[in-house]
Structures are given as structure tokens and as C-alpha cells.
């Protein structure tokens, strides 16, 4: 492992996993610092879920070194598992129990769980606490899955597309929960297809394509490093709209200011978004 592995909650080197002739994970390297919110991005089939399953200890690997909270997940004990919270893509709660019964039941699996009522409130299910799970909407069931992932007060929380099915208000509430957990020192690995979510929550991101990491860094750094030229748009005196792609937008605006002797009609400067960068890195730039 790396020399600074003791500072990492997750340290992955040369991870590989193959299913028959299909290589799902092809030499992934990841280092997630303690207390960090780390986003793992990539299209379907890129290897994200397989990687998370290996980190959970629920899938074996073909090659590579993996350390999660200082332990190889393949040989992890029950005590280690109690330190890791997981939110699966699929629902895991029994349909006949109520929300309160379910959260209380799962809390008994841990030595020092969070307060069940507090957790129900954190995920916004106070008004549904007495409802049976089978009566919940899809988004409400997803919130319950998040509650079960955090009830044990984990040191590391693995979230595999946790806000699928959330409405915008529920998603923002979930973001506040993640920020609260991060402030408390929880390390969080998040996979998501929502680029806005990744940018709002993650300290650092890794973009995965075809089973390996194609870019890694802070969201702003990824935009600067992999973004294309900025676009400067304006309107000519005769009403004709114009635009120019440039690496020096400030210079372009200065030249336009001089040419127009002041205000530039219809001026707009846009820079590449994280979504633009993501689509470019994953080879989907023309799919928009």
C-alpha cells in the first residue's frame, strides 16, 4: 500500500475484476482521506458498483490491494462491518414493518447506534414513522434506506446512488444530512449520476470509464484541467448574435469593450460545467 495509507480511510491500488470475458474494473487506484466526501462518477457499466461492492466486502477481486479502515474487506470481521454503513441501490427493508419499527430493529445490530427518532428526522420521515414500508412512495423508501445506512453511526458510509427517486426538496434535505455527517468526521463515498449533487457535496471526485479512473481531483480543478475553452457571446450593432470560443475570455471582453466603446450588447461569458467535463471524459460529449 502507499506510504501515506495510515491517513486514508480507503486505499485501493491496481484493483481488477472480471466477469468471464468482460473486464468490469481494470486497474483502479483510489485514495480517500479520512473525513472526506469522495464522489465516484461514471456511466452505467463503468465499474462503480463493482468497486463499491468490493470495498463493502461483498464481492471478491481478481487482483489489486484494498484497505478499508485499515482492513482488507475480504478478510474483515463482524466488528469491522459495524464500522461501515451501506446504502444499497436496491431496497433492503421488510415491507410489513413500520418505519419506526425498522429503524429501531436495525439499531439493535450496533453497539452504539444513533438515536432512531433522530435518524428518522434526519431523513425527513417523521410524519411517516408509523407507516408500513409497503405504503411508502419510492422516494420515501429510499430515504429509509439512507436511515438504515447511518443508524450505526459508521466511520465510513458507502452510498451507491442514494438519491434515486428523490424529489428536489428531498434531495436537498439529503445533502444537508451528508454535510452534517461529514462535519462529524464520517468518511463518505458517494456514487451518483447527478452532477449537481457531486459538485455540491464532494471534496474530490474520480471519474471512471471502461473500468479505470480517467480523471481525479477537486470539482473546480477538474473543470479547469479538462474543460474546453470559454464561450463569449454578444450582439453586433445590426442585431446579429456572435460568439467566440477562447482560452482568454477576459482579453476577448476587453477587446469588445474597446470596440463598442463601453457596454457590450448581449454580453454573456460561459465556462465549461462539470457536466461538460464529465461527458467529455467519458466519451459521451456528443450524446447531449
- Spatial neighbors of 131 by CB under 8 A, at least 6 apart, are 98, 99
Given its phi and psi angles, is residue 217 left (phi above 0), alpha (psi -120 to 50 degrees) or beta? left
Question: Of 226, 229, 232, nearest to 274 (Cα)?
Answer: 226
Taking each helix axis as running N to C, give the angle between helix 274-281 and helix 219-226, from 0 to 180 degrees, rounded to the nearest 10.
60
d(CA 206, CA 67): 18
Pairing of strands 156-160, 241-246: unpaired
The CA distances from residue 185 to 54, 66, 145, 283, in Å, are 23, 22, 21, 35
- Spatial neighbors of 24 by CB under 8 A, at least 6 apart, are 17, 18, 45, 47, 50, 211
Domain ranges, ordered by start, for the chain: 229-271
Contact in structure between 251 and 272 (CB atoms under 8 Å): no
Q: What is the pLDDT along the chain (288 residues), one digit of tens a residue?
A: 444 556 899 999 999 999 999 999 999 999 999 999 999 999 988 999 899 999 999 999 999 999 999 999 999 998 999 999 998 776 667 788 999 999 999 999 998 899 999 999 988 899 999 999 999 987 788 889 889 999 999 999 999 888 877 788 888 888 888 898 899 899 999 998 889 999 999 999 999 998 999 999 999 888 888 876 788 999 999 999 999 988 888 999 999 999 998 899 999 998 888 888 888 888 776 555
DSSP state of 237: T
Secondary element (H or E) of residue 253: helix 249-260
Q: Note the pTM of the prediction, 2 decimals.
A: 0.82
Given its phi and psi angles, is residue 221 left (phi above 0), alpha (psi -120 to 50 degrees) or beta? alpha
Amino acid at each position: 500500500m502507499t506510504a501515506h495509507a495510515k491517513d486514508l480511510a480507503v486505499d485501493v491500488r491496481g484493483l481488477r475484476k472480471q466477469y468471464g470475458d468482460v473486464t468490469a474494473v481494470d486497474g483502479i487506484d483510489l485514495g480517500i482521506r479520512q473525513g472526506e466526501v469522495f464522489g465516484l462518477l461514471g456511466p452505467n457499466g463503468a465499474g462503480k458498483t463493482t468497486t463499491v461492492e468490493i470495498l463493502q466486502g461483498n464481492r471478491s477481486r481478481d487482483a489489486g490491494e484494498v484497505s478499508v479502515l485499515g482492513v482488507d474487506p475480504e478478510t474483515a470481521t463482524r466488528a469491522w462491518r459495524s464500522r461501515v454503513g451501506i446504502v444499497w441501490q436496491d431496497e433492503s427493508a421488510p415491507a410489513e414493518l413500520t418505519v419506526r419499527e425498522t429503524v429501531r430493529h436495525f439499531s439493535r445490530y450496533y453497539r452504539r447506534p444513533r438515536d432512531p427518532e433522530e435518524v428518522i428526522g434526519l431523513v425527513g420521515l417523521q410524519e411517516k414513522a408509523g407507516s408500513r414500508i409497503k405504503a411508502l412512495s419510492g422516494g420515501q423508501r429510499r430515504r429509509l434506506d439512507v436511515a438504515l445506512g447511518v443508524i450505526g453511526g459508521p466511520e465510513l458510509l458507502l452510498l451507491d446512488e442514494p438519491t434515486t427517486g428523490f424529489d428536489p426538496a428531498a434531495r436537498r434535505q439529503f445533502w444537508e444530512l451528508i454535510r452534517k455527517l461529514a462535519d462529524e468526521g464520517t468518511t463518505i463515498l458517494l456514487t451518483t449520476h447527478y452532477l449537481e449533487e457531486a459538485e455540491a457535496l464532494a471534496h474530490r471526485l474520480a471519474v471512471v470509464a471502461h473500468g479505470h479512473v480517467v480523471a481525479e481531483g477537486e470539482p473546480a480543478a477538474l473543470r479547469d484541467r479538462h474543460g474546453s475553452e470559454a464561450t463569449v457571446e454578444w450582439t453586433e450593432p445590426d442585431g446579429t448574435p456572435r460568439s467566440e470560443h477562447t482560452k482568454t475570455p477576459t482579453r476577448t471582453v476587453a477587446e469588445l469593450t474597446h470596440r463598442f466603446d463601453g457596454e457590450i450588447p448581449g454580453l454573456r461569458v460561459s465556462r465549461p460545467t462539470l457536466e461538460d467535463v464529465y461527458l467529455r471524459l467519458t466519451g459521451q460529449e456528443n450524446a447531449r
